[in-house]
Structure 1
Amino acid sequence: MPAAIVEAAEERQEREDELRQKSTAGGSPAVTEPEFATLVEVQTADWAGESVSAPDRQVAETAAAKVEQAFPDEYRLWIAAGEKETSLRHRQSELDFLAQWFVAAREVYLHEAVYGFFANGGSSCYILRLDPTKPLASEVEGDLDKRTGLAGLKSVADVTMVAVPDLWSRGTTPEIGAAILDKVVGHCAAMRNRLTLCEPPPDTAPAGVSQFLTRLAGPDSDDAAFTALYYPWVEVPGVDGARRTVPPSGHLAGVWARTDTERGVFKAPANQNLRGVLALPVRLTDQRHGELNDKGVNCLRVFPERGLLVWGARTRSSSRDWRYLNVRRLVSFLSDSIRQSSTWAVFEPNDDRLWAALRHSVASFLTDQWRQGALLGRTPDEAFYVICDRSNNKPETIDAGQVICDIGVAPVRPAEFVQFTITQIAGQSGQSI
């Protein structure tokens, strides 16, 4: 026990003994010994934050009033000494609690991920509540009523990315980790407006990444379009000052948020610096990077004079439509925005006037997106189309209380490869074309 607490306890006991002697001694004591004992018992319970019975409380209050009136200075010194000891004990309890969590923090990555998210430009972060005493696999789905896990995340409409930084903490096996990722990716695929950021297990060698990919949903599946896998892990300073290697998903979520703010969802979240990262434990060659990139793995690279960069912007999907992160996220953004902005049409008369209003509203929104550079085309007509008329709103559709608005867009895809042709012309210096 710290010396300060021992000294405070001794002082409190000394003041208590002095006050007891004066209050209970003499020909006409202020209180009896049992009354003073009850006073000490109740006051000690109050300092400790414990409850006492109503009769004991009444006896203690009566005794305190008598003692304070008879010996005000001694009573005040006793109370002050007790409060000082209590304050020191509370502070020690807080420090012990924090010390336990600092030790436990070395086994988890959540705090590093949250720091990396904000360090890289994130502004709004939701942390799901899970029971740390239970396996993550049994807790990740959560409870909708208690708003825990993925179920609790369904009611948060503005979530656009989901990460599980503690997926690989506490010795999670690749089999269990892949099963948990399936649940997270399934949640994102069902919601259609968010993507999963993930990484392979720690200490995975470049050659072992492909083996881990076989445990996840195949590239031809719908889930693959909502999965962004990054490699390798990153070395960070650590919130406690100790350098450690952590999963990059939190930092990458911040990069996504930063890109959205600075450029827009249509900009691929790549060729961006990683902030709050000291080094990469694995240095990839161009050849190895190309192999991983073909499998939908987004690599983190180090380039001379440029630092650590995010050097990939793909989903795990093999589909041409959903191969790139920014395309999948743009379509999700457009779909969500149009759906939310067209709720006014509910219960309106389902006729030509409603269809014309919907066409105008959607076309205006998409035109703004085209002007910002989100859609490909020299004119709005080349960038998108909106159909909402009698051709797709049949009588049976109207009778069912439905209005159908068909929308097509041409997203801008990233310039992932830039090709140069070098030509040597006889009799002249070399020229680059």
Structure 2
Amino acid sequence: MADYLSPGVYVEEFDSGAQPLEGASTSTAGFIGLAQRGEIEGVPQLVTSVADFHRLFGSYLSENEFGEYRFLSYAVEHFYLNGGSRCYVMRVAPTDAKVAKNKADSNKEASILEISSKNPGTWGNQIRIVVVPSSKAKTQIYEVISDKQYRVKNNAGFNVGDVVAFEAAGQKQYNKVVASQDNIIELAEELDGDVTDAGLLPSKVLTTSEFTLHVFYGDEAETYEKVSLNISAANHIEKIVSRSNIITVKDLTDGKDLGVIAPFEVLSGENETVGKFQIALSGGSNGSIAQVTPDVFMGVDRGPGKRTGIQSFIDNDVVSIIAIPGVTEPTVQLSLVAHCENLGSRFAVLDIPREKTKVADVMTHRNIFDSSYAAMYNPWLQVFDPLDKRNIYIPPSGSVIGIYSRSDQTRGVQKAPANEVVRGAVGLDCQYNKGEQDILNPQGVNLIRHFAGQGIRVWGARTTSSNGLWKYVNVRRLFIFIEESIKNGTNWVVFEPNDEQLWARVQRTIDAFLTRVWRDGALMGGSPSEAFYINIGRSTMTQDDIDNGRLICVIGVAPVKPAEFVIFRITQKTREE
């Protein structure tokens, strides 16, 4: 309690009512797959448009090189085409993929700096680096204090270890800074001749010696001005270039003394009068398809920020729908489904192998799975390929996730993402009829069908679960929405006094949220009391629960179910009876 020590009026604020509870996002997608470029370790990258994807991960992949693993870029494109809003993408690469580097046997700078592309791929072979000499600071010498100490006009920018050049009458003397403080600079060696110049426009100047790095890749360009090889300086090349999206730089000198030679000359072997020199990278490789094994997609958990593949999405708590487009290896798909089940906050969209079009073959693949956190779609979609300028077939997962997102935004997560037009699809790999769907639909295979005058539509909304309570996609996703919203919006409850006052506040908070969900049409019932109930207090907790710090709230909701079978019963009547 506050201390009241002197007479007066005290105004205090306290929370007694319900806390507003915001609904969790359900339309953020996650994709995993092969790409031209992009990080293969760390956290998934946010992508907000197709152009954003191409900037971060490159363009379309060729069928000859990447075969059945090339569909990530197409999936992301059709995700946005079908109404997707945002997604996170994680790139994977074959185990034998290599980064492009500067070669030590042909470049002098390679013995000083190891420059490599930011991540593996042949894209790195197109990187071009131009180095030009530059200087971050210059000053004039006012007084010679001793053989190696000089009082200057301004010592700002002159750091210990910097290579400097004293220029007079067109001649340069290179030296190194030993100490720099209070406008007094101490050099490693004594400067020759008369070095003082107190003129307003000095003809004799002491300058630092650095270089500027220009990095080019396609339409991208990065410039890192006035970087140094002085490992103790704030502008050391490793520190400055670490923010690059194109290259990484490693200083191989380990801080050893390079002498009093200009950094430009150390790297190029030529005098600064040359003006510039170029560095080319080579040796980048996309790897071989033979090395794209299931473990590449399943990923490795090396700890926070160092995870790969599916494991990298553990660090992401925003994604609610996820897919690995075109990858139909059962081991990978089962790993993705297990990931969704373990987190309980996201839903997997699975593709069926393109060659499996017969009902029996489709069922063979379908029977591998039993989960309410996944849905399966078939057949593949015919779309236009901007790379080969022809129609190709792509897996439906990217388009379907876009439809999930579109349906969530226009109707709400309670609406089954079915009977929706698939935008951008000009045909189907095969056309199923009603008899075939009569077999596949009850088993949880959602077909995409073409209807005359109605276009190509998603014509199923079932999960792969054998539990009848969770057979509809929208029911599972509605529960994910409710659970995540309540979990995110009730963090304030933790460590609060576990008493009747807290129970009442929690009940009011959840009641207000579920009432809004009911008004949006996500719950059955003519009134909130018919749509849901909330039990909290002595009816749900024992004294042992309270003594052990547990607050237990039991919530029941009545989700709406889709009208999957619409039946009109018509009879013939001659008169009113």
Normalised to the residue count of structure 1, the TM-score between the two structures is 0.70
Aligned with 2:377 (options 230, 242, 258)? 230
Structure number with the bigger relative contact order (C-alpha 8 A, sep ≥ 6) is 2
The Cα shift of 1:320 comes to 2.2
Asked whether the equivalents of residues 112 and 239 of structure 1 are also in contact (C-alpha less than 8 Å), the reply is: no
User: Partners of 1:335 and 1:308 in 2: how far apart?
Assistant: 33
- The aligned residue for residue 138 of structure 1 is 295
Aligned with 1:154 (options 314, 317, 329)? 314
The Cα shift of 1:131 comes to 2.4
Superposition pairs of residues 288-327 of structure 1, within 5 angstroms: 288-327=436-475
The Cα shift of 1:318 comes to 2.4
**1:386 match: secondary structure:** strand
**1:159 match: secondary structure:** coil
- The aligned residue for residue 211 of structure 1 is 364
The Cα shift of 1:140 comes to 2.3
Alpha carbons of structure 1 residues 101 and 358: separation in structure 2 relative to 1, 3 Å: same
Asked whether the equivalents of residues 198 and 230 of structure 1 are also in contact (C-alpha less than 8 Å), the reply is: yes
Whether 1:190 and 2:342 are equivalent positions in the alignment is yes
User: Partners of 1:322 and 1:161 in 2: how far apart?
Assistant: 17
Which 5+ residue runs of structure 2 have no aligned equivalent? 1-57, 96-290
Which 5+ residue runs of structure 1 have no aligned equivalent? 1-96, 169-176, 219-223, 429-433
Asked whether the equivalents of residues 326 and 394 of structure 2 are also in contact (C-alpha less than 8 Å), the reply is: no
Asked whether the equivalents of residues 279 and 308 of structure 1 are also in contact (C-alpha less than 8 Å), the reply is: yes
- The one-letter code sitting in structure 2 at the alignment partner of 1:192 is G
Asked whether the equivalents of residues 60 and 73 of structure 2 are also in contact (C-alpha less than 8 Å), the reply is: no
Whether 1:128 and 2:90 are equivalent positions in the alignment is yes
- The aligned residue for residue 405 of structure 2 is 257
User: Going by fraction, where is strand more abundant, 1 or 2?
Assistant: 2
User: Going by fraction, where is helix more abundant, 1 or 2?
Assistant: 1
Superposition pairs of residues 102-121 of structure 1, within 5 angstroms: 104=65, 107=68, 108-121=70-83
Q: Deviations over 1:208-236 (max 9, x none)?
A: 1112223x134xxxxx1111000111111
Asked whether the equivalents of residues 447 and 460 of structure 2 are also in contact (C-alpha less than 8 Å), the reply is: yes
**1:237 match: secondary structure:** strand
- The one-letter code sitting in structure 1 at the alignment partner of 2:353 is P
Q: What is the number of residues matched between the two proteins?
A: 318
- The one-letter code sitting in structure 2 at the alignment partner of 1:167 is V
**2:88 match: secondary structure:** coil
Superposition pairs of residues 5-404 of structure 1, within 5 angstroms: 104=65, 107=68, 108-133=70-95, 134-142=291-299, 143=301, 144-145=303-304, 146-168=306-328, 177-207=329-359, 208-214=361-367, 216-218=368-370, 224-240=371-387, 241-404=389-552
The Cα shift of 1:316 comes to 1.2
Q: Deviations over 1:141-200 (max 9, x none)?
A: 3234314222210121121111111414xxxxxxxx111111000000111111111121
Asked whether the equivalents of residues 111 and 239 of structure 1 are also in contact (C-alpha less than 8 Å), the reply is: no
User: Partners of 1:121 and 1:418 in 2: how far apart?
Assistant: 27
- The one-letter code sitting in structure 2 at the alignment partner of 1:182 is L
- The one-letter code sitting in structure 2 at the alignment partner of 1:329 is R
- The one-letter code sitting in structure 1 at the alignment partner of 2:433 is T
**2:446 match: secondary structure:** strand
- The one-letter code sitting in structure 1 at the alignment partner of 2:430 is V
The Cα shift of 1:427 comes to 8.4
User: Partners of 1:365 and 1:98 in 2: how far apart?
Assistant: 43
- The one-letter code sitting in structure 1 at the alignment partner of 2:441 is N
- The aligned residue for residue 416 of structure 1 is 564
User: Partners of 1:290 and 1:100 in 2: how far apart?
Assistant: 37
Asked whether the equivalents of residues 113 and 249 of structure 1 are also in contact (C-alpha less than 8 Å), the reply is: yes
The Cα shift of 1:104 comes to 3.3
User: Partners of 1:246 and 1:387 in 2: how far apart?
Assistant: 48
Alpha carbons of structure 1 residues 138 and 401: separation in structure 2 relative to 1, 3 Å: same
The Cα shift of 1:99 comes to 10
Asked whether the equivalents of residues 206 and 288 of structure 1 are also in contact (C-alpha less than 8 Å), the reply is: no
User: Partners of 1:384 and 1:136 in 2: how far apart?
Assistant: 47
Percent identity over the alignment is 39
User: Partners of 1:136 and 1:112 in 2: how far apart?
Assistant: 21
- The aligned residue for residue 15 of structure 1 is none
User: Partners of 2:533 and 2:503 in 1: how far apart?
Assistant: 14
- The one-letter code sitting in structure 2 at the alignment partner of 1:197 is V
Alpha carbons of structure 1 residues 106 and 135: separation in structure 2 relative to 1, 3 Å: closer
- The one-letter code sitting in structure 2 at the alignment partner of 1:259 is S
Normalised to the residue count of structure 2, the TM-score between the two structures is 0.53
The Cα shift of 1:101 comes to 5.8
Q: Deviations over 1:364-392 (max 9, x none)?
A: 00000000000000010000011111111
**1:290 match: secondary structure:** helix
User: Partners of 1:121 and 1:378 in 2: how far apart?
Assistant: 32
**2:430 match: secondary structure:** coil
User: Partners of 1:319 and 1:166 in 2: how far apart?
Assistant: 27
Q: Deviations over 1:400-430 (max 9, x none)?
A: 11111111100000000111112123589xx
